[in-house]
């Protein structure tokens, strides 16, 4: 073996947004760029891991040295994650849409006399909570992200509990921070043991540091 920190490990990463169809030409989407998740996948590969990156639709480059599985919807993302277990570490960096349209139409919805259509929404599966709650093939380390605009650490602690994961990487995505879609990130690592706050770093540097932290927990 190479002596690299994650040699022989399988790391699974979700990244990017999900797209939830309304009809064949319209969708619900969000502004996630996939940069942090893709940077994590690349950093894990550099650390010697076998990496499966399950990505929603993004416009950034594929990271080197990882297997990419492309999906669109939250349900496709969950299926892909389950299909690619077992993994030693699972990192859920995707911005999964919380809701999808209950009955997406097979044909384009026409603008009609009756005014705008009513869209009824249903909740998507929570991929992180589903995997963290598994009895069989639960990855040894399950990591979630929390994008918050207020009470960042408090909300992350609650999320850690609610979702049953081992770590939450929390960040403030208020528009003024420029984090969403930007190049830098300042994160708080929240675990049962406590909180560690890192300075603002390039997303690539956050990724490298996170991978070192995760490797130390194996
Ligand atoms: O609850 P919230 O969406 O803020 O939680 C964020 C974390 O949960 C992220 O790690 C995200 O990837 C994950 N998540 C998920 N499936 C969902 C919603 C969130 O995996 N449906």
Peptide bond into 176 cis (omega under 30): no
Classify residue 144 as exposed, middle or buried by CB count within 10 Å of its CB (0-12, 13-18, 19+): buried
Helix, strand, or coil here: 54?
strand
Residue ranges in the chain assigned as alpha helix (H): 35-46, 74-83, 127-132, 152-163, 203-216
Nearest CA to ligand 1 atom 6: 146
Ligand 1 pocket, 94 CB below 6 A? yes
- In tens, the pLDDT along 133-169 reads 999 999 999 999 998 888 999 999 999 999 999 999 9
**For residue 32, what are the CA distances in angstroms to 67, 82, 113, 210?**
20, 22, 35, 19
**Considering only CA atoms, which of 133, 135, 144, 146 is closest in space to residue 166?**
144
* 88 appears as a binding residue in the annotation: no
CA dihedral 175, 177, 178, 181 (to 10 degrees): -80
Helix, strand, or coil here: 152?
helix
ipTM over 0.90: yes
Phi and psi, residue 198, nearest 5°: -105, 155
Residues written for the chain: 218
- In tens, the pLDDT along 53-93 reads 999 999 999 999 999 999 999 999 999 999 999 999 999 99
* 145 appears as a binding residue in the annotation: yes
* 116 appears as a binding residue in the annotation: no
For the entire predicted model, the pTM comes to 0.94
Active site residues: 30
212 C-alpha to ligand 1 centroid (Å): 23
Q: Which atom belonging to ligand 1 lies closest to the Cα atom of 98?
A: 21
Ligand 1 pocket, 88 CB below 6 A? no
Nearest CA to ligand 1 atom 5: 146
């Amino acid at each position: 073996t190479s002596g690299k920190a994650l040699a022989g490990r399988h790391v699974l990463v979700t990244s990017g947004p999900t797209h939830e169809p309304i009809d064949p030409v319209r969708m619900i989407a969000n502004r996630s760029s996939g940069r942090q998740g893709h940077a994590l996948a690349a950093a894990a590969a550099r650390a010697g891991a076998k990496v499966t990156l399950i990505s929603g639709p993004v416009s950034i480059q594929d990271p080197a040295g990882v297997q990419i599985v492309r999906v669109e919807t939250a349900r496709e993302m969950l299926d892909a994650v389950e299909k690619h277990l077992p993994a030693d570490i699972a990192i859920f960096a995707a911005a999964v849409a919380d809701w999808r349209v209950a009955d997406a139409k097979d044909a384009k919805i026409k603008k009609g006399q009756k005014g705008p259509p009513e869209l009824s929404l249903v909740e998507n599966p929570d991929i992180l909570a589903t995997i963290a709650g598994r009895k069989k093939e639960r990855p040894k380390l399950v990591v979630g992200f929390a994008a918050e605009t207020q009470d960042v650490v408090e909300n992350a602690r609650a999320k850690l509990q609610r979702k049953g994961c081992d770590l939450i990487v929390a960040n403030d995505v208020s528009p003024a921070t420029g984090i969403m879609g930007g190049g830098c990130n300042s994160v708080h690592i929240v675990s049962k043991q406590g909180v560690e706050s890192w300075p603002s770093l390039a997303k690539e540097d956050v990724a490298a540091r996170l991978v070192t932290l995760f490797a130390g927990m194996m």
